[in-house]
DNA sequence: ATGGTAGAAAGTCTA
């Protein structure tokens, strides 16, 4: 099973990119973020024609998550206890015997901003939800745009970023609390070096200069670690015309 | 500290 995560930053704009990438990369499961589409406008037919079923939780203009899979998607969850949130950022579904949780983590804007407090609160509730998911589903994948660089290797210029948003110690502690549940950052099972990023700002020719962050993650439970065969960041779509600012990240599981 | 670019949508807001 090849599983992927991609923040497409408007599925309306990026549908051609997604279809091309599905054809090239042949993933079995794909978690999308920032679809920015109401459910009524989700391109389910175009994706079905490409061989993918889909479930989605979207809204107009902002946020929006979706999971695509070649096989049936069961037991869909869009809302979690203790988080009465109109922002569509969470989507869970089961494929085969693998539970998949797609997250579009709150950006937070700036340390100290009210959005930052919302981010930390949101992560706390998601942590509690994942604890339950892990108890129910030993084979758990939690993936998406985490909007947190796990450590300084994941930041092109750790001095400049310092303890700013996406890098601040409380955010990193919240992520560590999640991985400490028994969810490994799959990319780091295969690659320990820095300079591997999944997002580059549209400004300052950041992609060309590889001024990026690794904030798109695929976390896997202990029961899946032995099946992990390869992890990668596919930079190709970031180089296409009118790209998303994020590029797909992938994990191959021998299942 | 600010602004640079992109998307949605028609003002700004979000990232």
Q: What is the pTM of this model?
A: 0.98
The number of residues making up chain A comes to 255
Q: Which residues of A are catalytic?
A: 104, 145, 246
- pLDDT given at position A222: 98
Residue with tokens 């406008």: A41
Q: Nearest nucleotide, C1' to the C-alpha of A109?
A: B15
User: How far is the C-alpha of A180 from the C-alpha of A178, rounded, in Å?
Assistant: 5
Q: Closest residue to B14 by CA to C1' distance?
A: A62
- pLDDT given at position A74: 98
> What DSSP element (H or E) covers A142?
strand A140-145
Q: Residue-wise pLDDT tens for chain A (255 aa)? A: 999 999 999 999 999 999 999 999 999 999 999 999 999 999 999 999 999 999 999 999 999 999 999 999 999 999 999 999 999 999 999 999 999 999 999 999 999 999 999 999 999 999 999 999 999 999 999 999 999 999 999 999 999 999 999 999 999 999 999 999 999 999 999 999 999 999 999 999 999 999 999 999 999 999 999 999 999 999 999 999 999 999 999 999 999
Residue with tokens 């820095």: A194
Residue A197's SS3 state is coil
Residues 107-126 of A with CB under 7 A from strand B: 107-109, 115
A34/B10 CA-to-C1' distance in Å: 21
Residue A9 labeled ligand binder: no
Could you give all domains of chain A from N- to C-terminal order, each with its CATH number?
Answer: 2-253 (3.60.10.10)
- pLDDT given at position A111: 97
Residue A66's SS3 state is strand
Q: Closest residue to B4 by CA to C1' distance?
A: A203
What angle, 0 to 180 degrees and rounded to 10, lies between the N-to-C axes of helices A114-136 and A169-179? 10
Residue A147 labeled ligand binder: yes
- pLDDT given at position A18: 98
Which DSSP state fits A246?
Answer: B
- pLDDT given at position A212: 98
Which DSSP state fits A219?
Answer: E
Would you say A88 and A80 are in contact if contact means Cβ atoms under 8 Å apart? Answer: no
Q: Closest residue to B3 by CA to C1' distance?
A: A203
Residue A145 labeled ligand binder: yes
Q: Is the CB of A67 under 7 A from strand B?
A: no
A111/B1 CA-to-C1' distance in Å: 15
Residue A246 labeled ligand binder: yes
- pLDDT given at position A122: 98
């Amino acid at each position: 099973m090849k599983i992927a995560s991609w923040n497409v930053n408007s599925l309306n704009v990026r549908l051609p990119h997604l279809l091309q990438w599905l054809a090239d990369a042949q993933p079995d499961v794909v978690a999308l973020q920032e679809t920015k589409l109401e459910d009524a406008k989700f391109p389910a037919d175009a994706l079905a024609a490409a061989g993918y079923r889909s479930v989605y939780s979207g809204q107009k203009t902002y946020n929006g998550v979706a999971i695509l899979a070649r096989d049936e998607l069961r037991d869909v969850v869009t809302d979690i206890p203790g988080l009465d949130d109109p922002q569509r950022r969470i989507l869970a579904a089961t494929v085969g015997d693998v539970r998949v949780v797609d997250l579009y983590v709150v950006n937070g804007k700036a340390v100290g901003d009210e959005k930052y407090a919302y981010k930390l609160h949101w992560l706390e509730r998601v942590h509690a939800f994942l604890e339950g998911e892990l108890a129910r589903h030993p084979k758990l994948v939690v993936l998406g745009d985490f909007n947190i660089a796990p450590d300084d290797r994941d930041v092109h210029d750790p001095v400049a970023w310092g303890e700013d948003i996406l890098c601040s110690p409380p955010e990193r502690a919240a992520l560590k609390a999640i991985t400490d549940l028994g969810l490994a950052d799959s990319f780091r099972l295969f690659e320990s070096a820095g300079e591997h990023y999944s997002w580059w700002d549209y400004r300052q020719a950041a992609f060309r200069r590889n001024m990026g962050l690794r904030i798109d993650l695929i976390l896997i439970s202990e029961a899946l670690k032995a099946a992990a065969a390869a992890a990668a960041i596919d930079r190709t779509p970031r180089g296409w015309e009118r790209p998303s600012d994020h590029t797909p990240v992938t994990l191959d599981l021998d299942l």
